C-alpha cells in the first residue's frame, strides 16, 4: 500500500471545491501532492504520510509519528487565528523536517512570521505574487528572537 491509496476521509472538513491554484515552495525538490487526512482520522490509518491540523488540534499528537510524515498541512481558516504558528513551532522544535504547509487565509503580510515559524510551503486561498513575497521576506535584515528558522537573534551577532 502506498500513500496514494489514502484519500480525504469522511468526517473531516470538506476539501475546497477546487484545490488551491498555487502552492509556493521554499523547499528543494518536488512537493508532496498526494491526499491529506485530517488529524482526527490520522490515528486510524497506518500508512498516511500527510496530515492536516486545524487550529484547535494539538500538534503534539503527531510527535510519535514524525518519521513517516512527508507533509503536515496547517490550516488557517482566518489569518487572525494564530494557533497555527504555535503548531508549526512545536513540530519544528520536535525535529520535524518534512514539508510544513500553511493553507487557507495566507496573506503577504504574514509571510515573514510564517517562514520564521517553520512553514516552507504555502497554499494561499487567494494567489500571491511570488516576487512580492520574496521582497517581503527580504525586508527585515535581523531578528530579535529564536524561532524555527535558521536566523540567529541579534544578540548572537552582537556577541560575535
Site for other proteins in 96-135 (CB under 8 A): 107, 109-110, 112-114, 116-117
Closer CB to other proteins, 21 or 107, in the complex: 107
Residue from 32, 42, 85, 96 binding other proteins (CB under 8 A): 85
In the sheet that 71-76 helps form, which strands lie side by side, from edge to edge? 24-25, 121-124, 99-104, 71-76, 50-53, 37-38
Handedness of CA 104, 105, 109, 115 (dihedral sign): negative
What is the nearest approach in angstroms of other proteins to the Cβ of residue 85? 5
Residue the block writes with cell 495566507? 106
Site for other proteins in 25-84 (CB under 8 A): 55, 79-83
Which uninterrupted H or E stretch holds 121? strand 121-124
Q: Is residue 141 within the footprint of other proteins (CB under 8 A)? A: yes
Q: Is residue 145 within the footprint of other proteins (CB under 8 A)? A: yes
Per-residue DSSP letter, 95: T
What is the nearest approach in angstroms of other proteins to the Cβ of residue 134? 13
Closer CB to other proteins, 20 or 55, in the complex: 55
**Closest alpha carbon to 11 in 33, 39, 47:** 39
Which uninterrupted H or E stretch holds 52? strand 50-53
Residues that bind other proteins (CB under 8 A): 55, 79-83, 85-86, 89-90, 93, 107, 109-110, 112-114, 116-117, 136, 139-148, 153-159
Amino acid at each position: 500500500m502506498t500513500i496514494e491509496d489514502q484519500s480525504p476521509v469522511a468526517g473531516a472538513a470538506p476539501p475546497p471545491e477546487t484545490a488551491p491554484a498555487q502552492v509556493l515552495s521554499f523547499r528543494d525538490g518536488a512537493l508532496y501532492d498526494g491526499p491529506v487526512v485530517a488529524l482526527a482520522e490520522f490515528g486510524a490509518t497506518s500508512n498516511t504520510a500527510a496530515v492536516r491540523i486545524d487550529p484547535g488540534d494539538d500538534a503534539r499528537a503527531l510527535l510519535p509519528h514524525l518519521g513517516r510524515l512527508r507533509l503536515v498541512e496547517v490550516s488557517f481558516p482566518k489569518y487572525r487565528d494564530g494557533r497555527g504558528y504555535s503548531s508549526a513551532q512545536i513540530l519544528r522544535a520536535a525535529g520535524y523536517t518534512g514539508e510544513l504547509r500553511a493553507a487557507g487565509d495566507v496573506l503577504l503580510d504574514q509571510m515573514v512570521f510564517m517562514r520564521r515559524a517553520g512553514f516552507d510551503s504555502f497554499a494561499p486561498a487567494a494567489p500571491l505574487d511570488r516576487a512580492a513575497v520574496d521582497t517581503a521576506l527580504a525586508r527585515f535584515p535581523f531578528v530579535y528572537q529564536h524561532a524555527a528558522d535558521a536566523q540567529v537573534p541579534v544578540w548572537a551577532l552582537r556577541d560575535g
